[in-house]
Amino acid sequence: MLEQLLIFTRGGLILWTCKELGNALKGSPIDTLIRSCLLEERSGAASFDYNAPGAAYTLKWTFHNELGLVFVAVYQKILHLLYVDELLAMVKHEFSGIYDPKRTVYSDFDETFRQLKKEAEARAEELKKSKQVGKPVNNSKKQGQVQKAGLGGDKKKNEGGLASDGGDGDTMKGRRLENGNSNGNHVDIKESNVFGTANGKENTSSNLGAFDVNKLQKLRSKGGKKAEKTVTVDSNGSKAEPKKKITKKNRVWDDSPPESKLDFTDPVDENGDNNTQVVAADHGESMMDKEEDFSSESEAEEEEEGEVGKESKPDKQKKGWFSSMFQSIAGKANLERSDLEPALKALKDRLMTKNVAEEIAEKLCESVATSLEGKKLASFTRISSTVQAAMEEALVRILTPRRSIDILRDVHAAREQRKPYVVVFVGVNGVGKSTNLAKVAYWLQQHNVSVMMAACDTFRSGAVEQLRTHARRLQIPIFEKGYEKDPAVVAKEAIQEATNNGSDVVLVDTAGRMQDNEPLMRALSKLVNLNNPDLVLFVGEALVGNDAVDQLSKFNQKLADLSTSSNPRLIDGILLTKFDTIDDKVGAALSMVYISGAPVMFVGCGQSYTDLKKLNVKSIVKTLLK
């Protein structure tokens, strides 16, 4: 049963709701649809599932882009209503005929909707009945019987032929039993591939002749040759010892005594404590606090590229000049999907060359097509420029954070409550979590914030020593408990220690883990649930393409599935590393933000502590569409 149908403008003004249905929706499915689907450029999807305590709805929608109207139908998720798409199309057609921008009440549409709903339900019923009538239920049974009979007949013929050729049929059965086929239903080897799965189960005995003995002999001969190459036998038959690899000796230039082995490790006393005292050097101002201006350079580059393009492609412009000019002057009545497809395909290919995941590029183009379909093309504008402008707006909307996360402001708020601000760094192996944690610590230090590091990577060898080195260089206290400890407990003790010492921020380093590693993902979920950090940062490489979607979606899914809370903590922000290695392949930023809804808060662009900056949204969008 249909729960509700609404018509509202893109500005949010509700024009009409079905009073006949009158069902009070549980939760806020319409608000969730607008917030997490329509505003996030996911409007190209077929439907949206809303799940809340005591409510499970499916929402479908359509747009009238020229009038700026949205039509939304809501029904129970458990039901599969066949007429919803057709009903929405009919309502859109009828309502657009009576729509007036000055009107806000459409009570006269109730009767029209009632009639449309009856028509759509009647058509769906007829379609359902016609499908049931058209199902060949009895014919399939007969066909199955005929097939079985045919198999039996073939078997009898084969058995008869074998008996006549080979003499007695019993002797043939005996031979078959020796070969391992004990079911008595022998099929010729040539026909075993055809009839081997007649009963739905693979006849393993029929595949006995599938292995070629010659292959086995070849493999044995290859193995023998390898053995001859690797093992040398002397004349007495005993194996000779393998020759030792000759290593190059260091050249001695004079009679001076040989130098001791170079050792750059820190000297340690009997108790295991470092004797060296490292003074924290001033590495300069962090790039986080520097405002970068890309506009002049990027615009100059675009102008140069445009001039080169015009010079290199004169014939292409001359070819379609009249048709494109006529279309741009006259304007087109309404844009159709076929008009948009060439420009969208070129745009999709361009995004994928910039390292945007294929799935994300496809969804974005579908969303842009949905927002432009039915719109009137203005005069003196081309379809390609219209599509590019719509895509640019969509990209800016996606990359701009939905909610502001100001770490410094939140740190001061936590300081007033006399508790530390906790940040947990998570991600896959080798992306640079520890290094970029140190960069964030350096940036916070420059803003007079006291920081403590927590070495909760108790899994990887050398992780604690790596973090200890960063802490010593930055003169920051570090909390560690060694290896093979529960990281959730270590983090909890570190937070308690920071509370006692009056540290403002605790930066928690965690072990790198692949998104499919169940034990490590369970340990991470326990750490997040037990300590309830203020910020969960996903550290990802800017080099990844399609794998960015898999990493982030599975991290979020595991954190949600393994959480014991009804409101699980997910990824709050993204730290993008190795951004200086990708040139113009900046698509990973878009893929990660689109799939998670979390903003890119930091961008790592080098190996020193100052190489951390903010994401410039305008620069990224220009690079993606360049």
Please work out, in degrees rounded to the nearest 5, the angle formed at the alpha carbon of residue 412 by the alpha carbons of 411 and 414. Answer: 65
Task: Quote the tokens at residue 220.
Answer: 């044995």
Q: What is the full DSSP assignment across 443-481?
A: HHHTTT--EEEEE---SSTTHHHHHHHHHHHHT--EE--
589 in a domain, yes or no? Answer: yes
Residue 434 near residue 470, CB atoms below 8 Å: yes
Overall average pLDDT of the 395-416 stretch: 88
Residue 371 near residue 43, CB atoms below 8 Å: yes
Band (pLDDT 50/70/90 cuts) for residue 254 is low
| pLDDT score at 209 | 45
Closest among 321, 358, 324 to 339, alpha carbons compared: 324
Closest among 626, 624, 617 to 352, alpha carbons compared: 624
Residue 42 near residue 363, CB atoms below 8 Å: yes
Q: Name the helix (H) or strand (E) containing 52.
A: strand 48-52
When comparing pLDDT for 314 and 553, which is higher? 553
In this structure, are 412 and 364 located in the same domain?
no
In this structure, are 350 and 471 located in the same domain?
no
Q: Name the helix (H) or strand (E) containing 5.
A: strand 2-9
CATH of the domain at 613: 3.40.50.300
430 in a domain, yes or no? Answer: yes
CA 463 – CA 77 distance, rounded (Å): 47
| pLDDT score at 381 | 79
247: region left, alpha or beta (phi > 0 left; psi from -120 to 50 alpha)? beta
CATH of the domain at 95: 3.30.450.60
| Cβ atoms < 10 Å from Cβ of 213 | 7
Task: Quote the tokens at residue 234.
Answer: 């002397």
Give every strand in the sheet of 535-541, ordered side by side.
478-479, 451-455, 505-509, 421-426, 535-541, 573-577, 600-604, 612-613
SS3 295: helix
SS3 537: strand
Question: What are the pLDDT digits (tens) for 117-159?
Answer: 888 888 888 888 887 665 554 444 444 444 444 444 444 444 4
Closest among 160, 93, 157 to 120, alpha carbons compared: 93
Last residue of a domain, one of 399, 425, 454: 399
| pLDDT score at 197 | 40
242 in a domain, yes or no? Answer: no
In this structure, are 441 and 355 located in the same domain?
no
CA 86 – CA 69 distance, rounded (Å): 17
Q: What is the full DSSP assignment across 225-286?
A: HHHHHH--B-TTSPBPPPPPPPPPPPPP-SSSPPPPPP--SPPB-TTS-B---PPPP-----
Task: Quote the tokens at residue 184.
Answer: 């008595």
3-state percent helix, strand, coil for the chain, nearest multiple of 5: 50, 10, 40
41 — phi, psi (to 5°)? Answer: 60, 40
DSSP 72: E
Residue 84 near residue 62, CB atoms below 8 Å: no
Overall average pLDDT of the 370-399 stretch: 87
Domain residues for the domain of 567 are 407-625
195 in a domain, yes or no? Answer: no
In this structure, are 506 and 567 located in the same domain?
yes
Amino acid at 172: M
In this structure, are 472 and 621 located in the same domain?
yes
278 in a domain, yes or no? Answer: no
When comparing pLDDT for 80 and 221, which is higher? 80
305 in a domain, yes or no? Answer: no
Query: Token match 């730290």: residue?
Result: 575
DSSP 327: H
Question: What are the pLDDT digits (tens) for 24-69?
Answer: 788 888 888 887 788 777 777 778 888 877 788 898 988 888 888 9
When divided into structural domains, the chain yields a total of 3
In this structure, are 388 and 419 located in the same domain?
no
In this structure, are 106 and 42 located in the same domain?
yes
C-alpha pair distances (Å), 313 with each of 308, 316, 319, 383? 9, 6, 10, 19
Last residue of a domain, one of 126, 161, 178: 126
Last residue of a domain, one of 109, 126, 143: 126
169 in a domain, yes or no? Answer: no
129: region left, alpha or beta (phi > 0 left; psi from -120 to 50 alpha)? alpha
In this structure, are 453 and 595 located in the same domain?
yes
273 in a domain, yes or no? Answer: no
Residue 549 near residue 357, CB atoms below 8 Å: yes
Residue 347 near residue 624, CB atoms below 8 Å: no
In this structure, are 385 and 430 located in the same domain?
no
| pLDDT score at 27 | 82
Band (pLDDT 50/70/90 cuts) for residue 336 is confident
Distance between the two ends of the chain, CA-based, in angstroms? 48
Question: What are the pLDDT digits (tens) for 455-509?
Answer: 999 988 899 999 999 999 999 999 999 998 999 999 999 999 999 999 999 999 9
When comparing pLDDT for 70 and 21, which is higher? 70
CA 137 – CA 114 distance, rounded (Å): 37
| pLDDT score at 311 | 42
Distance of CA 481 to the CA centre of its chain: 34
- Provide Rg for the chain, Cα atoms: 35
- Does the pLDDT value for residue 305 go beyond 80? no
User: What is the pairing mode between strands 612-613 and 478-479?
Assistant: unpaired
Query: Token match 């230090």: residue?
Result: 445
- Does the pLDDT value for residue 16 go beyond 50? yes
Residue 454 near residue 509, CB atoms below 8 Å: yes
- Does the pLDDT value for residue 604 go beyond 60? yes
Contacts of 364 (CB under 8 A, 6+ apart): 41, 44, 348, 351, 356, 391, 394, 395, 594
C-alpha pair distances (Å), 599 with each of 36, 399, 478, 595? 14, 7, 28, 11
Task: Quote the tokens at residue 196.
Answer: 């081997």
Task: Quote the tokens at residue 182.
Answer: 């004990």
Task: Quote the tokens at residue 183.
Answer: 């079911």
In this structure, are 39 and 72 located in the same domain?
yes
Of 192-206, 237-251, 464-478, which gets the smallest average pLDDT? Answer: 192-206
In this structure, are 369 and 450 located in the same domain?
no
In this structure, are 381 and 461 located in the same domain?
no
Task: Quote the tokens at residue 146.
Answer: 């005929």
Band (pLDDT 50/70/90 cuts) for residue 241 is low
